[in-house]
Structure formats: structure tokens, C-alpha cells
Chain A
């Protein structure tokens, strides 16, 4: 986890980079040329492509029903025995005698849904606040940015934890909301920074010199040119959102219905048997780490490729 101050600085640095980009479209093209040859980016992109494909196709890929305790007769609670790998059950069964491999595959679906929805909601909230602050300035800016700074100064997981703990009955959707709210200040600060850079840009001055109305200046000239860093940040936020969501589920603040598998929750379920059956924790934890890593690799390389300062 990055410390709050570093987080703020990084957001601001990213925001500033948008002001220097001379031509958005050609910048994207040159970034793509760099990325196509970057092994790091390609690794991340491969991981994410596989992840998305698996989660979309998992209902058909999964060999067994994820809710059916078909191996329950092999579970011996007293002797702490669980079903071992066997034909048709690649990774054996879990504590409830359900096929572990199938649950792992289908679990990717929840992770994808939660990650994407939380990021989209966070994005929507952040864009609204950031646009308000960046476009209106003055006291609106001051109020919004104070709020954002307070939220950024708290560790994001702690904040997400507190938010989801406020709901009486936690479920899948409260996880999404909690994780999304935590991302709002990141996007808001980022967008506001790039909007400010745009406000003093030449083409905005040129548009003002043509008598273009303030609304059009904001939505046609400032906002579209400020989105680059925000899009990059979304990729990184996906990684955080997935980890945060898994952590909430692990802590029992996720979907109480465990027939729908979810990686964080699968991890939480096996806390007590971790020393005897580490593989039950290893697989879901590994999946979370690899997917988060995939998004981070993509996001970081994307950011570097789009940052004019790091271009040679």
C-alpha cells in the first residue's frame, strides 16, 4: 500500500502530465507503438485477457456445479480431512465437499463484476466531483478538495471496511459501493488536476478568444482532454478494487450466500484449516495476486507510455 502523501503526489504528477500532451490522438498512437513492444505490458495484457475470457466463459468451462456438495462423503470434519484431487475434480473439494477447481473458475466472475462495477461507479463519482471542482473553482473547489484530501489521508482499505460495516446486512452490492466510494477521491483529485492544467492551456484560451460559452469550454474543450490520466488510473484502480473487494469478503463483509463462489470469501472460509490444507488458501490468493498484478502491469506501463516526461 502506498502512503497517503505519496498517493497524492502520484495523482498530481499524473494530472500534470495531461497538460503537457500536445496532441491527444498522436500521443495515443505513439503510446501504442511503445506498448506493443513492451514485454511488461504484454504480460499484463495477456493475464487480463485470460482472466476476462475465463470469467466470461466460466459457466461453460467449469466441469462441476459449484453449489453442489458432491464430495461431502469424503469430508471428515473430526479428522480434518477434505476430498483430495481425483478424476473429475482436478483440485479436489473444499470443506463443504464442493468441487474446488470449478469454484475457482467461477469465482473469477464475481471478482470481475465487483472490480469493474466498483471502478465505474468510482469513476462516475470522481468525474462529477473533479469536473465541478476544476470547472467552477472558488469555494466549490475548496470544499470538494478538502473532502477528497480527508478521504485520501485514510488508508483505503480501512475506509472501505468502515463503509461496508455501516450497512446492516452486507452483501455483494455493499462491497461494490464501499470499494467504489473509496476510489472516488482518487479520480476526483486526478481529474481536477488535469482540468486545471487544461484551463491554462493554449487551446482553451483560443476557444475563449472565439467567444465559446463556458459550458462548451468545460465539456468540449477541457473535459475530453483531461481524461487520459483518468483512463490510465482506472486500470490501476481495478487492481486496488479487486484486492479491496477480496479483503472485505475475507473479513465476512461480502456476499453471505457462499453458493456463489468468490475468491476473497474462499480465502476466509479456510482460515481455520490453513495450516493443514494450505492449498485451499494458495489457489484463491494466487488468483487475486496474479489478476491484480496483471492490471498493475498494464496500468503502470500505460502511464509511462502516456507520460511525455518519460518519453525519449
Chain B
């Protein structure tokens, strides 16, 4: 039994007078302690909604959630508000995309760290402050004692994200969900934050769900990768297999649209054509078909089922990219 088992997670947004919208459709994945699982895809494919559903943060009204989210064998979706509240921050931590807006602007950093410690570990304020200083130190914030009394706007972007990570990890949750934790940061800082996450996950044996649209992040961090398109997992594979041999045309396209230093001069980037808006509903066929270079007639007539194609890879495609033996991509 894995630490986190997400089975057939489905989120349907319903609003009066509007068509119900399925943002997440039968998504399943497992995360083991010390393992990093990536959820990858373009904007709007349902990554954040998946993470919010796991954390129990979707609004009660307007969102219908199906499937199960088992944490140590307990279905989180069946817990009461109060039980879920006790688990958030203690068993499950979350790091958000924009570190500035995710911190409370009118409260010093120190208080935002001690707040969780007081809440879940019943620490008295004094002791929590000592612990908070320790935590800030651990995530690599220089001069942590001074930072405790500073406000979010006084910190640099990278330091804010470190502070958020410190807060999320304050109670040593066994599962951490990071929703595009580096998107709002510049490149050098991105690398530092990723290195920090990797280190913490290794040291503490935390299970990490890494949400990103950046395959570079996946390459450096994730053990297993789930590629999402239109709310469904279209390809799931181990990191090395995925990079060496993307089988789904969408994954293939994503990989080909990253600039590579070792690419021959003059070779053009090949971005995926169209946009996420050019979807057909999964019920009719493959949602990616209108943008797919490999599309066949069958793709718009029949929904592709998820198939196990061996080697721990799951694929949802009628006409996958054939494995090319000559092309060696090393990561």
C-alpha cells in the first residue's frame, strides 16, 4: 500500500444554468514515501484542481468529487471538515505557485511559521519561535533570527518561497504537494528551490507530488511522471523511459518544444500547434486529436482507453509515436 493512492479522482464543476465541466477525469496515481511524482501538462489541464481535491480545498458547493484519495489507507474524501482540517498542515503540506501572494502581507514571517507549530504541535509561542528559526535555517534562509520579524515584502522572491516551504514542512508532513513552486521565480532561484526540495524529500523521506508545466523540473526531480491532457492522464511512465521515449504524441510534442543546447544549429523548435481550447470532449474521441500530428479517423470517433504498454508505462492513444531505436536521448 502506497502512502497516497489516488484512484479515479474526478472533479466536475457544476454551476446553475451552465454545462457541468469535468476538470479532472479518472486520474489515478500512487506516491510512496521518498518518491517524487510529477503531474505535467499545459495550463488548464487540471493540475491544480487535482491537488486542491487531494488537500480537500475545493469548495463544497459547485464541485462534485468522485473516486478515492487514500492516505495511509484512509479515504480523505470521506473525512469530515474538522478531521480534514486537523490533517492539513500536519499530514499533508502544500506549497503554492506565487510565494508573495501566498504569504499574509500584514504578519511577520516568524508568526506565520509559529502559527502552524502552535496549531498542530501545541507548542508554546516561545518554543515555536526557536523551532521557527531552526526551520528557516534549514531551508537556507540566511540570518533567520532577523527574518522572523520581517514582513513578506521585505524578502526576495526566492527567500519567500523558502519561507513557504519551511511553513509547509514545519510539522513534517509525510506528503508534500508543490503546485508550480518555481514558476514565479527567475531561473537561478528556480534551480536552488528545486535542489532544496530534492534534498528535503531525501532527508525526511517525504512523498512529493510535483505539479508543473515545465519538463525541465520533471527531468531533475521526478521519479514517475503523469502527463495530463484535458483532465485525463494520457501517458504515465518512469522519468527515464518518458524522456528516452515519449510515446504519446502530446508528450512527444512537449519534449520537442523545449529548447535544447545540444540541438543542431538551425534546427527549429516545434511547438505543439493550436491551443488547449481546440478540444473535443473525451466522450467523443481523443481530446488531443485536433492538435495531434498522428491523428487518425478513429481518434475523433472512439475514446482511447488507457493501456498498459509494458515497462510500467500507461498510454491513452490510438496511434502512439513508435519507439525509435536510433534516437538516444539521455537525461
Contact = CB atoms under 8 A, between A and B. Distances in A.
B105 A207 contact: no
Contacts of B85: 211, 213
B102 A206 contact: yes
A202 B184 CA distance: 14
A225 B88 contact: no
Interface core residue of A21, A22, A209, A212 (most chain B CB under 10 Å): A209
A23 interface: yes
A23 B109 CA distance: 13
A311 to B, nearest CB: 15
Main secondary structure, interface of A, reads helix
B87 A224 contact: no
Contacts of B100: 22-23
Nearest to A208: B57
A205 interface: yes
Nearest to A27: B105
Contacts of B120: 211
Nearest to A220: B107
B104 interface: yes
Interface string A18-44: 000111111100000000000000000
Interface residues of B, number: 30
Interface stretch (B71-79, B89-97, B233-241): B89-97
Nearest to B86: A211
B153 interface: yes
Contact of B96 (A23, A202, A216, A221): A202
Contacts of A206: 94, 96, 102-103, 164
A26 B153 contact: yes
A15 B57 CA distance: 25
A153 interface: no
B75 to A, nearest CB: 18
B55 interface: yes
A240 B86 CA distance: 47
A23 B89 contact: no
Interface in B96-114: 96, 98, 100-107
A74 interface: no
B116 interface: yes
Interface in A199-249: 201-203, 205-213, 216, 220-221, 224-225
B152 interface: yes
Interface string B159-177: 0000010011000000000
Contacts of A224: 106-107
Interface core residue of A25, A211, A220, A224 (most chain B CB under 10 Å): A211
Interface core residue of B57, B101, B104 (most chain A CB under 10 Å): B104
A24 B105 contact: yes
Contacts of B88: 208-211
Interface in B136-187: 151-153, 164, 167-168
B105 A209 contact: no
A24 B106 contact: yes
Contact of B57 (A209, A220, A221, A225): A209
A225 B87 contact: no
Contact of A211 (B87, B103, B107, B152): B87
Nearest to B91: A211
A175 B119 CA distance: 46
A25 B151 contact: yes
Contacts of B30: none
A36 to B, nearest CB: 19
A205 B104 CA distance: 10
Interface string A81-98: 000000000000000000
A209 B94 contact: yes
A210 B167 contact: yes
A216 B89 CA distance: 15
A112 B153 CA distance: 37
Interface in A92-121: none
Given A209-B89, A209-B96, 17 more contacts: A22-B153, A25-B105, A25-B151, A203-B103, A209-B57, A210-B88, A210-B89, A210-B93, A211-B89, A211-B116, A212-B115, A212-B119, A213-B119, A220-B107, A224-B106, A225-B104, A225-B105
16 contacts: A23-B105, A23-B153, A25-B153, A202-B98, A203-B102, A205-B96, A206-B94, A206-B103, A209-B94, A210-B167, A211-B86, A211-B88, A211-B120, A216-B119, A220-B104, A224-B106
Interface of B: 55, 57, 85-90, 93-94, 96, 98, 100-107, 115-116, 119-120, 151-153, 164, 167-168
Interface of A: 21-27, 201-203, 205-213, 216, 220-221, 224-225
